[in-house]
Amino acid sequence: MQRRASGFNGYTIEAPDGCVGSVSDMLFADNDWALRWFVINTGSWLLGRKILIHPQALGRPDIRQRAFSVALTKTRVEASPDISSDSPVSRQMGVNPYGDYAAWNGDEFGLSAGIMPAGNIWQNQPPAQPGDPHLRSVAEVTGYHIHALDGDIGHLEDFLIDDESWKIDSAVVDTKNWGFGSHVLVSPAEMNEVNWAERYIRVELTRYKIKCSPSWKDPDWKDSPGP
């Protein structure tokens, strides 16, 4: 089912031997639009460390309890190595919205840290320090302006994520400040550039095409994890 990415913020992460923290962000790869990591704030347990947990390590989201189970013990979580190469691009460029964090490398699930498919479609200056140039923070790009082929059209409000495949299906674009008064869905395949310094995303569509994109309104889900 499609869920708003922001709706998972605050979900608690329950290990077999206790709670390890809560979701504070998600990191995705901009070349295949797959979610790579959940950023977990461990709170007072590990003195505020923020760790990365791969989606395959998590159970199905418990919508009513706003929680995930995780197939890692607290000892495994505490021993997670610090892998700075898996920081999002904004942190590589010197902006760190999280503070220092460690990352579990996901090898147990067949995904080695720092190894992503080739073919990045986003254009950026080279990172200031080593890291995966494909990795993006949902929290960082939320609010970026949307530049159409013929001018500005709105800003990125959220992503819709499939909670089974953990891939981004659509971007939710808020166009109300441009006189259209609605939220529309834009395919990530149309997004071909992000300007980190000026906080905008370029879309290979005209303003008219974006205006005519499918409209979006939050469904009336009783079990919705929406904000």
The secondary structure element, H or E, covering residue 74 is: helix 74-78
Contacts of 153 (CB under 8 A, 6+ apart): 146, 147, 173, 175, 178, 203, 207, 210, 211
| Domains of the chain by residue range | 2-116+126-135, 140-216
Q: What's the pLDDT score for residue 179?
A: 66
For 94, phi then psi, to 5°, come to 110, 0
- What is the tens place of the pLDDT at every residue in 1-19? 889 999 999 999 999 999 9
The torsion defined by the Cα of 65, 70, 71 and 77, in degrees rounded to 10, comes to -140
Residue 128 has pLDDT above 50, yes or no: no
What's the average model confidence in pLDDT over 146-168?
94
Instruction: Give the whole-angstrom CA distance, residue 226 versus residue 5.
Output: 8
Per-residue confidence at 147, pLDDT binned at 50, 70, 90?
very high
Which amino acid is located at 148 in the chain? A
Q: Which residues of 176-196 are buried (b: 16+ CB within 10 A; e: fewer)?
A: eebebeebbbbebebbeebbb
Which amino acid is located at 35 in the chain? L
Per-residue confidence at 51, pLDDT binned at 50, 70, 90?
confident
Which of the residue ranges 43-52, 115-124, 217-226 would you say has the lowest mean pLDDT? Answer: 115-124
Q: Is the pTM of this model over 0.85?
A: no
- What is the tens place of the pLDDT at every residue in 200-215? 999 999 999 998 899 8
Give the fold, CATH level 3, of 140-216. Answer: SH3 type barrels. (2.30.30)
Maximum distance among all Cα pairs of the chain, rounded to whole angstroms: 54
- State which CATH number among 3.30.460.10, 3.40.50.280, 1.10.3720.10, 2.30.30.240 fits the domain covering 2-116+126-135: 2.30.30.240
Two domains, one topology: 2-116+126-135 and 140-216: yes
- What is the tens place of the pLDDT at every residue in 99-109? 333 333 334 43
